[in-house]
Structure 1
Amino acid sequence: MRYQVVRKKLDGKPPRRQRLARADRFRQLLDVAWRIIREEGTEALTLGRLAEKAGVTKPVVYDHFGSRSGLLAELYREYDARQNALMEAALKTSASSLAGRARVIASSYVECILLQGREIPGVIAALAGSPELEAIKREYQIGFIERCRAALLPFARTGSISSAGLWAIIGAAESLSHAAATGELTSVQARDELFEIIYAIVDRPPR
């Protein structure tokens, strides 16, 4: 019985903080941040809450991100990199046609949102909360637009795709993907509608 009491006390001690290399700690903090958003929502994500859930001190978290805005920016960068990798890999094996390219862009955009779950819509919404974060979002939107232009331009009926048309594509992609993520649309509905929009914009006849 005495052994059991001692054992219980030992088991009740808080776990020792694990020393990690800087890159490993950064990866751990991002993983915990995504989990907080998934389980508690974006509003719950503060640097203090992240430190608590990750089992580190606040200075460690501040050293990696500087501010909540810095943390949100890193989360969005990671999402954007994942989306780019998914789309580029799919484009390499897609049919060399407007239908093939449009289908890949639509599918990869929606799939990436769904893979990230409910977390990324909250992060994207939070980006609108400051000019700094809005600028980061716009930078990555422009990057996506240019990748779409490069993939689709060879199949444009007029030989060009207007900037307005490309912005319409990304606007539709964001709206439809978020609707799929929140269950208002199925993933098939979102992908099919986005495909139709992309195809119609690129295949628009000369005016």
Structure 2
Amino acid sequence: MSSPTTKRSAPPSPRRRLARDDRHHQLLEVSWRLIRTEGTDALTLGRLAEQAGVTKPLVYDHFGTRDGLLVALYQDYDVRQTAVMDSALAASKSTLKDKARVIASSYVDCVLLQGREMPGVLAALAGSPDLEKIKRDYHIAFIEKCRTILAPFAGANGIASAALWAMLGAAEALSYAAALKEVTPTQAKDELFATIVAMAMRSRSPRTSEC
């Protein structure tokens, strides 16, 4: 009669090595999840390392400081927002209303997708010179993208920069109002859509000087 086989426990799984870009993406995803579940104040490099199952030096190597991590989250958000808008624009019809609807819907949807996390990141970075520069660069890029998209529907002189900055302000205010449930997503999109269409139409009208 043979002796019973001794059951051995399986060795622990080795930590999976990821390429640097893949690890960076994983750390950002874990960061977003932490903010979503525990709030921005809970997000530290040490806590991120613990939740991601990696060492603190690895997290510091990717972000340097907590502000560096928060800036990376803002950049990640902007990249995804741009990708969503570009995809929707490529699939849309070549009319003013279609292009305006895509701009409005994409902007609001991206803010809502991040829920309350993005305002928390921005609040945590308030006054950061790095964030201010990145935000300004992205804002200018967004405005120039909209100027190009709407150029075929504008007047001979194009859309004034002041009008485009006003549109951006409306987009930010309406999106965050929707995120805070002060207005519905549909109301935010419809109001922004109307703002964009009116801006393009107004650029066609001859400007008269005031007496």
Measured against the shorter chain, the TM-score band is: 0.7 to 0.9
Unpaired runs of 5+ residues, structure 1, are 1-6
Task: State the secondary structure of the residue aligned to 1:203.
Answer: helix
| Alpha-carbon displacement from aligned partner over 1:120-158 (angstroms, at most 9, x marks no partner) | 222233343311111111111111111000001111135
CA contact (8 A) 1:127 1:137 kept: no
The code of the aligned residue for 1:29 comes to L
CA contact (8 A) 2:116 2:180 kept: yes
**Residues 120-199 of structure 1 aligned to structure 2 (within 5 Å):** 120-199=118-197
The code of the aligned residue for 1:55 comes to G
Q: 2:141 and 2:121 mapped to 1: Cα distance?
A: 18
The code of the aligned residue for 1:167 comes to W
Task: State the secondary structure of the residue aligned to 1:161.
Answer: coil
- Aligned position for 1:57: 55
Greater Rg, structure 1 or structure 2? 2
The code of the aligned residue for 1:31 comes to E
Unpaired runs of 5+ residues, structure 2, are 1-7
**Cα separation, partners in 2 of 1:66 and 1:17, compared to 1, 3 Å:** same
The code of the aligned residue for 2:151 comes to L
The code of the aligned residue for 1:78 comes to D
**Residues 51-130 of structure 1 aligned to structure 2 (within 5 Å):** 51-130=49-128
Q: 2:73 and 2:26 mapped to 1: Cα distance?
A: 12
Q: 1:44 and 1:129 mapped to 2: Cα distance?
A: 20
CA contact (8 A) 1:113 1:120 kept: yes
Alignment TM-score, normalising by the size of structure 1: 0.87
Alignment TM-score, normalising by the size of structure 2: 0.86
Deviation at 1:17, TM superposition (A): 4.2
Number of aligned pairs? 199
**Residues 24-35 of structure 1 aligned to structure 2 (within 5 Å):** 24-35=22-33
Greater Cα offset, 112-121 or 31-40 = 112-121
**Cα separation, partners in 2 of 1:31 and 1:168, compared to 1, 3 Å:** same
Q: Which structure shows the higher helix fraction?
A: 1
The code of the aligned residue for 1:34 comes to W
Task: State the secondary structure of the residue aligned to 1:206.
Answer: coil
Q: 2:156 and 2:55 mapped to 1: Cα distance?
A: 58
The code of the aligned residue for 2:86 comes to E
Q: 1:87 and 1:108 mapped to 2: Cα distance?
A: 5
User: Root-mean-square deviation (CA), in Å?
Assistant: 2.2
